[in-house]
């Protein structure tokens, strides 16, 4: 067993006894509970409600959702299952608009669907969903190696949750941090608490504690002061969509980190599989940004924290311009100081 695998004990998405199981991330860290799903409507709702979150994990969950939907449609419609399945695919696609991995995974499932005949589609679709899941884990290990090779010590800051909870396993940005810790020489890992859903405090801190990696939580507003001390070497984040020019959409607050990092001479790394790169989206200005309910900002764990009558602006994501990014790490390689030409080369000219 390698040092990296010893730091990789968490899985949030699994296929078990012919159904999908999702670790309910709304309940962490107080309770670790898997929910079972055998209905595609419930899976789409689980994605919307952030039972499962993180672009790669959403894509994997949706792929298994297609398997479950196809099983039901074949049982009900027989040879007409393909036409009946279309509304289920649309329902899954509408569950989270920003995470491009969702649409990438559904496209892969559609490609399998298009090649199938009138027989039971479940075996072929399940094989493809499992392949998507396994490929994601392998890609995360590869990105961990590539990203860790760029780090020469110092403290690290990460934002939101980009670990096993957000992926098939190991993680993107958190995978790089895991690999860097396994190599040794890393100082302290700092996690932004990440309002309003507190993914940093509830999820990232929980993951790192599970794997014995020391972590300190900070409020987002403390990051600049921490960088000013001169000990932080890298800010390492994930992404929900990367535009063709290298602009990066990620959890709200990422842009602020990038601006602060540039001012303080701290390097900024984005870690994401190539399934997150959307060459059909020219720039970050073209990325749809999900607007979520005001109550997420006005309350905390069901308790109001705002003055009655106050409103809230609650974008789930922001866009960091490519010129603020020092490196985009993918399973295909590292893009230093990304731009449109470099991204096209990474993606094979697409």
Write the CATH number for 341: 3.40.50.10470
Q: How many domains does the chain have?
A: 2
Q: Are residues 170 and 317 in the same domain?
A: yes
Q: Are residues 154 and 192 in the same domain?
A: yes
Q: Are residues 191 and 103 in the same domain?
A: no
The one catalytic residue among 8, 136, 240, 326: 240
State the burial class of residue 29 (Cβ atoms within 10 Å of its Cβ: 0-12, 13-18, 19+). Answer: middle
Exposure string of 202-213, with b = 16+ CB inside 10 Å and e = fewer, is bbbbbbbebbeb
Q: Are residues 128 and 204 in the same domain?
A: no
Cα 298 to Cα 294: distance, rounded to the nearest angstrom: 6
Tokens of 58: 């959403």
Q: Which of 119, 138, 157 is the last residue of a domain?
A: 138
Write the CATH number for 47: 1.20.120.420
295 is catalytic: no
Q: Are residues 61 and 126 in the same domain?
A: yes
Q: Are residues 201 and 329 in the same domain?
A: yes
Q: Are residues 102 and 160 in the same domain?
A: no
Sign of CA dihedral 259, 224, 326, 252: negative
Q: Are residues 168 and 74 in the same domain?
A: no
Tokens of 113: 């669907």
Q: Are residues 116 and 153 in the same domain?
A: no
Range of the domain at 22: 3-138
Q: Are residues 99 and 209 in the same domain?
A: no
Would you write out the chain's pLDDT as a tens digit for each of its 350 residues? 566 666 889 999 999 999 999 999 999 999 999 999 999 999 999 999 999 999 899 999 999 999 999 999 999 999 899 999 999 999 999 999 877 899 999 999 999 999 998 889 999 999 999 999 999 999 999 999 999 999 999 999 999 999 999 999 999 999 999 999 999 989 999 999 999 999 999 999 999 999 999 999 999 999 999 999 999 999 999 999 999 999 999 999 999 999 999 999 999 999 999 999 999 999 999 999 999 999 999 998 889 999 999 999 999 999 999 999 999 999 999 999 999 999 999 999 64
Q: Are residues 128 and 234 in the same domain?
A: no
């Amino acid at each position: 067993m390698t040092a990296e695998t010893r730091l990789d004990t968490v899985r949030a998405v699994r296929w078990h006894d012919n159904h999908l199981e999702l670790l309910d991330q709304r309940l962490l860290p107080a309770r670790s509970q898997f929910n079972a799903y055998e209905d595609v409507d419930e899976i789409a709702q689980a994605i919307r409600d952030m039972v499962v979150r993180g672009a790669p994990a959403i894509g994997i969950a949706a792929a298994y959702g297609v398997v479950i939907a196809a099983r039901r449609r074949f049982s009900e419609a027989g040879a007409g299952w393909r036409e009946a399945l279309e509304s289920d695919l649309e329902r899954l696609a509408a569950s989270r608009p920003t995470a491009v991995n969702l649409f990438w995974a559904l496209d892969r499932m559609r490609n399998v669907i298009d090649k199938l005949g009138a027989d039971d589609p479940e075996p072929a679709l399940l094989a493809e969903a499992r392949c998507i899941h396994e490929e994601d884990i392998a890609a995360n290990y590869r990105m961990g190696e590539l990203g860790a090779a760029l780090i020469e010590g110092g403290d690290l800051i990460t934002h939101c949750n980009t670990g096993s909870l957000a992926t098939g396993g190991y993680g993107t940005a958190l995978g790089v941090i895991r690999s860097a810790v396994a190599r040794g020489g890393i100082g302290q890992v700092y996690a932004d608490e990440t309002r309003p859903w507190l993914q940093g405090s509830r999820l990232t801190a929980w993951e790192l504690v599970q794997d014995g990696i020391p972590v300190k939580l900070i409020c987002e507003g403390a990051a600049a002061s921490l960088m000013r001390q001169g000990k932080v070497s890298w800010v390492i984040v994930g992404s929900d969509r990367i535009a063709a020019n290298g602009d990066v959409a990620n959890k709200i607050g990422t842009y602020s980190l990038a601006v602060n990092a540039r001012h303080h001479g701290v390097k900024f790394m984005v870690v994401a599989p190539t399934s997150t790169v959307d060459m059909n989206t020219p720039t970050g200005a073209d990325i749809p940004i999900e607007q979520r309910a005001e109550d997420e900002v006005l309350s905390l764990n069901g308790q109001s924290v705002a003055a009655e009558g106050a409103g809230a602006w609650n974008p789930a994501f922001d866009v960091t311009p490519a010129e603020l990014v020092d490196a985009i790490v993918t399973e295909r390689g590292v893009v230093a100081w990304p731009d449109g030409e470099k991204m096209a080369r990474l993606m094979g000219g697409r």
